[in-house]
């Protein structure tokens, strides 16, 4: 059905799932760099293909998987469902897998978020026999505040910074978080200037019909009265010329940890996340109703949380084994 080979693979027919080295055929759940590789053929949603062409160029071939439209892949059927993570992000439902003489289904989540977002289609979670889920925030400490509170705090702090005559600078991942922070601000009447690398991706959002509001590429003559959205400080390219009296904000789910602002070298860190928090991670199996759960990209102890909830669960750290059903 599936196996781990320095990355997750559908075994037969062989399909790499967010594997970061070149393969004949790979499913890419979304266009973040840690899920990409220049596969010979990339299966993904149309929006992810648009973003991948910006990041990878035109060389890979693309096999498009529009949401909720089943497509044959060998002797199984593939269907992409919205993951709620960023533009084009998708969970992959694989149906028709043969396990011990029985037909089973598998849901691979990639990165996901169950709550509503301004710039990504809300997650639509199908049921499946086997669930392979990411669990980035798989510790109880990562229960995020209500989204509306986080958004209100960001808007209030940015407005106060402008009123004080300083320059609000928001540091965000260039794909997904930057567009979400931009839309939160523009919806509340705060115009935004974006780092050129971010703006290039935002143009793809607009081409896919996502409204971002009053946003322009960064120019020093447009600075008065506007917020700036730029790259995280760990990327040397984040610097933009002509900004005086900057007040920096980091937007990341890791901001639940009070040390995050110091790590991100920001004046303030706000827990705006495009990942499921701990409560949403526990909610996902309740929606999927799987017989077995396998966890990737998160703490080993989240498996214990799932087992306490009554699920048969394993971690990628244990190695993937052929699912066995009673």
* CB 18, CB 39: distance < 8 Å: no
CA distance 191 to 36: 32
| In the chain, ranges of CATH 3.40.50.10890 domains | 147-270
**44/86 Cα distance (integer angstroms):** 13
> In this structure, are residues 13 and 76 in contact, taking their beta carbons and an 8 Å threshold?
yes
Predicted confidence (pLDDT) per residue in 281-302, tens digit: 999 999 999 999 999 989 999 9
* β-strands 130-134, 102-108 pairing: parallel
H helices present in the chain, as ranges: 46-56, 147-163, 177-187, 196-207, 260-263, 278-288, 301-308
- CATH 3.40.50.10890, domain 147-270, yes or no: yes
Give me the pLDDT at residue 325, please.
45
State how far the Cα of 77 lies from the Cα of 79, in Å rounded to an integer: 7
6-20, 118-132, 233-247 — which one is most confidently predicted on average? 118-132
Chain region(s) in the chain for CATH 3.60.15.10: 2-141+275-318
Helices 196-207/46-56 angle, 10° precision? 150
Q: Is the pLDDT of residue 134 over 80?
A: yes
Give me the sign of the Cα torsion angle 36, 42, 47, 52.
positive
pLDDT computed for residue 103 by the predictor: 85
To which CATH superfamily is domain 2-141+275-318 assigned?
Answer: Ribonuclease Z/Hydroxyacylglutathione hydrolase-like (3.60.15.10)
End-to-end CA distance of the chain: 16
Cα–Cα distances in angstroms (integers) from residue 32 to residues 87, 279, 302, in the given order:
10, 24, 24
pLDDT of the residue at 6: 83
pLDDT digits (tens, 9 = 90+) for 166-202: 999 999 999 999 999 999 999 999 999 999 999 999 9
Q: Is residue 134 within 8 Å of 277, Cβ to Cβ?
A: no
């Amino acid at each position: 059905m599936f196996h781990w080979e320095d990355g997750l693979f559908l075994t037969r027919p062989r399909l790499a799932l967010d594997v970061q080295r070149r393969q004949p055929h790979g499913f890419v759940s979304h266009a973040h760099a840690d899920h990409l590789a220049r596969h010979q053929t990339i299966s993904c949603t149309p929006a992810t293909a648009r973003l991948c062409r910006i990041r990878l160029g035109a060389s890979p071939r693309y096999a498009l998987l529009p949401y909720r439209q089943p497509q044959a892949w060998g002797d199984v059927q593939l269907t992409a469902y919205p993951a709620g993570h960023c533009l084009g992000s998708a969970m992959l439902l694989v149906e028709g897998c043969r396990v011990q003489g029985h037909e089973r289904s598998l849901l691979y989540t990639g990165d996901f978020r169950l709550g509503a977002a301004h710039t990504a289609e809300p997650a639509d979670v199908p049921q499946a026999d086997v669930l392979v889920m990411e669990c980035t925030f798989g510790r109880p400490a990562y229960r995020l505040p209500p989204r509306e509170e986080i958004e209100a705090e960001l808007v209030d702090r940015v407005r106060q910074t402008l009123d004080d005559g300083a320059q609000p600078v928001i540091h965000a991942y260039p794909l997904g978080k930057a567009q979400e922070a931009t839309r939160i601000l523009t919806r509340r009447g705060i115009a935004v200037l974006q780092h050129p690398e971010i703006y290039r991706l935002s143009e793809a959002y607009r081409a896919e019909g996502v409204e971002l509001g009053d946003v322009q590429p960064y120019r020093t003559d447009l600075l008065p009265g506007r917020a700036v959205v730029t790259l995280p400080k760990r990327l040397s390219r984040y610097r933009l010329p002509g900004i005086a009296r900057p007040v920096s904000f980091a937007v990341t789910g890791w901001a639940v940890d009070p040390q995050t602002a110091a790590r991100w070298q920001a004046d303030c860190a706000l827990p705006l996340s495009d990942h499921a928090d701990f409560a949403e991670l526990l909610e996902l199996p309740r929606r999927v109703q799987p017989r077995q759960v396998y966890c990737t990209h998160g703490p080993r102890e989240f498996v214990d949380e799932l087992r306490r909830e009554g699920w048969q669960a394993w971690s990628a750290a244990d190695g993937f084994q052929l699912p066995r059903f009673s």
